[in-house]
């Protein structure tokens, strides 16, 4: 299937094309502002579906709005009509089409143009009035508050918020792409004469800034956000995509003594804590039990033994573990336990606990196995 994508180098265009390149039997024809206009006519002749994402939203002169958003759309439709190519065409409009400003007027004019084309030709036309779209590859310090906040906060640069209670209607780029792929298959989410992205988030500027600043703090306390919240999960993924490339890595919290090291990897108020324990050869760690805290051990390198004894009993249970045959070992409450390195190399164990370690309530009681 031959698909024409205008605005191919824009935010939505880049994400759409990256997705389409992983779909079988798709031939993508890319067009952007630096493309040769002579190619557009040939693309319009061959296209079996058009994603019309090209547009102007930050011109040097406001008169360019109409030329970029109405004029180019007119050219596109003329070429399609010239070859009697009435394939489906999707056009990206904006919620600002309802506003009385140069940008909104140009988007509304583009809508009228494609609806007229639909009436005259019978072609299927899908008009999406996008609200604020956020996600990876959106240009910061341009026309997206989320992109600008992500970029600036990740670089310790100031952000400006005139009114923190201002509410934004936001859609996530992957949800946009999912909907566009549904449209390609003829399953668009049509509401009246317009198409819509099914998932829209209403969030204040103040809340967005608060969340992004908490994401930055993760490198200080290792607490990841509540990823069960779909907006927070998507915003966190977006934030990480704006990290300076030279700052992808950071130092963990490491507790070290003669026995080895204990490194905190991830903490979550919802999902507990993940840590990495390294024991030197011949070393035994642990010999304690918990009331409520439970853990899962998985040895990823080395050989050892995990021992358990239910408190108040004498029977010792042993599980021999090795990185050569990884298995997950549950550490139930009420069992004192330890882990001993039986090999000649470091014993490396990943440990998950159902709660983060709290110095005020450690729930850890010394008792030899």
CATH class assigned to 2-139+159-206: alpha beta
Give per-residue pLDDT as tens, 292-321.
Answer: 999 999 999 999 999 999 999 999 999 999
Q: In whole angstroms, how far apart are CA 323 and each of 102, 196, 318, 340, 353? A: 64, 50, 17, 14, 20
Catalytic residues: 103
Q: Which segment of 74-83, 89-98, 349-358 scores lowest on mean pLDDT?
A: 89-98
How are beta strands 284-289 and 317-322 bridged, if at all?
A: unpaired
Q: Which segment of 109-118, 236-245, 343-352 scores lowest on mean pLDDT?
A: 109-118
Tell if the pTM clears 0.95, that is, is over it: no
User: Which backbone phi and psi does 144 adopt, to 5 degrees?
Assistant: -130, 120
Q: How confident is the model over 6-34, as a mean pLDDT? A: 96
Label residue 106 by pLDDT band (50, 70, 90).
Answer: confident
Q: What would you report as the CA-atom Rg of the chain, rounded to the nearest whole angstrom?
A: 28
Does CATH place domain 253-366 in 3.40.47.10? no
Q: In whole angstroms, how far apart are CA 363 and each of 214, 293, 354? A: 27, 7, 12
State the span(s) of the chain assigned CATH 3.40.50.720. Answer: 2-139+159-206
State the span(s) of the chain assigned CATH 2.60.120.10. Answer: 253-366
Label residue 357 by pLDDT band (50, 70, 90).
Answer: very high
Beta bridge partners of 275: 264, 351
Burial of 100 (0-12, 13-18, 19+ CB in 10 A): exposed
Q: How confident is the model over 12-25, as a mean pLDDT? A: 97
Percent of the chain with pLDDT over 70: 94
CB within 8 A of 96, min separation 6: which ones? Answer: 103, 104, 107
State residue 110's pLDDT score: 83
State residue 108's pLDDT score: 82
Q: Residue 64 pLDDT more than 80?
A: no
Q: Residue 96 pLDDT more than 80?
A: no
Give per-residue pLDDT as tens, 335-354.
Answer: 999 999 999 999 999 999 99
Q: Could you give the CA distance from residue 207 to residue 218 in angstroms, rounded to a whole number?
A: 17
State residue 260's pLDDT score: 98
User: Which backbone phi and psi does 191 adopt, to 5 degrees?
Assistant: -120, 105
Beta bridge partners of 272: 268
Give per-residue pLDDT as tens, 37-50.
Answer: 889 999 999 999 99
Q: Residue 63 pLDDT more than 60?
A: no
Q: Could you give the CA distance from residue 135 to residue 155 in angstroms, rounded to a whole number?
A: 18
Q: What tokens appear for 53 in the block?
A: 């994402």
């Amino acid at each position: 299937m031959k698909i024409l994508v205008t605005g191919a180098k824009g935010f939505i265009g880049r994400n759409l094309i990256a997705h389409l390149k992983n779909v079988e039997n798709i031939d993508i024809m890319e067009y952007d502002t630096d493309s040769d206009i002579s190619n557009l006519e040939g693309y319009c002749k061959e296209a079996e579906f058009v994603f019309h994402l090209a547009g102007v939203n930050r011109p040097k002169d406001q008169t360019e709005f109409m030329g970029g958003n109405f004029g180019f759309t007119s050219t596109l439709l003329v070429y399609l009509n010239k070859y009697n190519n009435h394939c489906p065409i999707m056009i990206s409009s904006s919620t600002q089409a309802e506003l009385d400003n140069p940008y909104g007027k140009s988007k509304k004019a583009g809508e009228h143009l494609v609806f007229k084309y639909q009436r005259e030709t019978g072609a299927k036309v899908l008009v999406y009035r996008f609200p604020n779209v956020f996600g990876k590859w959106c240009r910061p310090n341009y026309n997206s508050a989320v992109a600008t906040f992500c970029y600036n906060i990740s670089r310790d640069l100031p952000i400006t918020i005139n009114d923190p209670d201002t509410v934004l209607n936001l859609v996530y780029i992957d949800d946009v792409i999912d909907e566009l792929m549904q449209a390609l298959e003829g399953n668009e989410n049509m509401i009246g004469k317009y198409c819509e992205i099914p998932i829209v988030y209403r969030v204040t500027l103040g809340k967005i800034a608060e969340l992004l600043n908490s994401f930055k703090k993760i490198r200080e306390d290792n607490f990841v956000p509540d990823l069960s919240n779909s907006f927070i999960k998507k915003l966190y993924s977006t934030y990480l995509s704006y990290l300076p490339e030279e700052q992808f890595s950071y130092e963990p919290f490491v507790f070290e003594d003669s026995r080895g090291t204990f490194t905190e990897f991830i903490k979550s108020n919802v999902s507990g804590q993940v840590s990495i324990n390294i024991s030197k050869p011949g070393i035994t760690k642990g010999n304690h039990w918990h009331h409520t805290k439970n853990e899962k051990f998985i040895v990823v390198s080395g050989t050892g033994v995990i021992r358990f004894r239910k408190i108040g009993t004498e029977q010792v249970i042993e599980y021999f573990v090795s990185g050569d045959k990884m298995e997950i070992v549950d550490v139930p409450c009420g069992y004192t336990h330890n882990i001993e390195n039986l090999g000649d190399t470091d014993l490396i164990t990943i440990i998950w606990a159902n709660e983060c370690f709290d110095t005020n309530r450690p729930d850890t009681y010394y008792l030899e196995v």
